Amino acid sequence: MFAPIGSTEATMTIYLDGRAIPARAGETIAACLLRAGVGHFRTTPVSGARRLPYCMIGHCFDCLIEIDGVGSRQACLSEVEDGMRLHTQDGPAAIAGMEFQ
């Protein structure tokens, strides 16, 4: 859906569900994952529907994703960091050490 304008200048690597994705310093996680062609960042807690970013400026909260073990973070507001570990969020955010039904 999105292609880089010019060269990407990726000097970092982030990981989504274990998959390595090249990242450019200063870009948001959302931009990085969209360039990589990621099909959805999360599924909704209600129906399990897939979602991708909608507004990209922090209003819609559809870009929620798990960043370094913390769920429901806004990918459109968070910058990439080298070695960052992301997980597609299925339904509500998981809380470390807690199990829901």
Partner 1 sequence: MSSAIELASAGCRVIVLDMQPLPGGQIFRSLEANMQARPRTDALLSALGPAYRAGLALIERFRAAPGIDFRPGTTVWDLRADGTVGWLRGNAAGYLRAPHVVLASGAMERPTPFPGWTLPGVMTAGAVQTLMKAGRLKPEGRIVLAGTGPLIFLLADQLRRLGVKPALIARTDRLGDKLAALKRVRPAGIPALAKGVGWLARLRLAGIPMRTGISGLQALGGEHLESVRLLAGGKNMDIPCDLLVVHDGIVPSTDLAHAAGLALEWKRDDASWRPRTARDGRARMAPCPSFTTGPCRIRITGDARRIGGADAAAAHGRHAARAILADLGRIARKQGGPDRTEAEVRRTLAARPFLDAAFPPGLAARLPDDATIVCRCEEITAGSLRVAIRNGAADMNLIRGLLRCGMGPCQGRSCATTLARLLAEAEPGRPMPPSPFRARPPLRPLPLGALAGMTGLDPALAQVESLDDKPEEIAGDDVHA
Two tokens, residue 10: 């990726």
Contact between 42 and 89 under an 8 Å Cβ cutoff? The reply is yes
Nearest distance in Å: CB 49, partner 1: 7
- Residue 64: phi, psi to the nearest 5? -60, 140
- Per-position x/- string for 9-48, each x denoting binding to partner 1 as judged by CB under 8 A, each - no binding: x--------------x-xxx-xxx-xx---xx---x-xx-
Q: Which residues are bridge partners to 50 per DSSP? A: 43
Query: By CB under 8 A, what part of segment 42-101 binds partner 1?
Result: 44, 46-47, 49-62, 64, 70, 72-74, 76-77, 79
- Residue 13: phi, psi to the nearest 5? -130, 130
Nearest distance in Å: CB 52, partner 1: 4
Radius of gyration of the chain (CA): 13
- Chain residues that interact with partner 1, rule: CB under 8 A: 1-9, 24, 26-28, 30-32, 34-35, 39-40, 44, 46-47, 49-62, 64, 70, 72-74, 76-77, 79
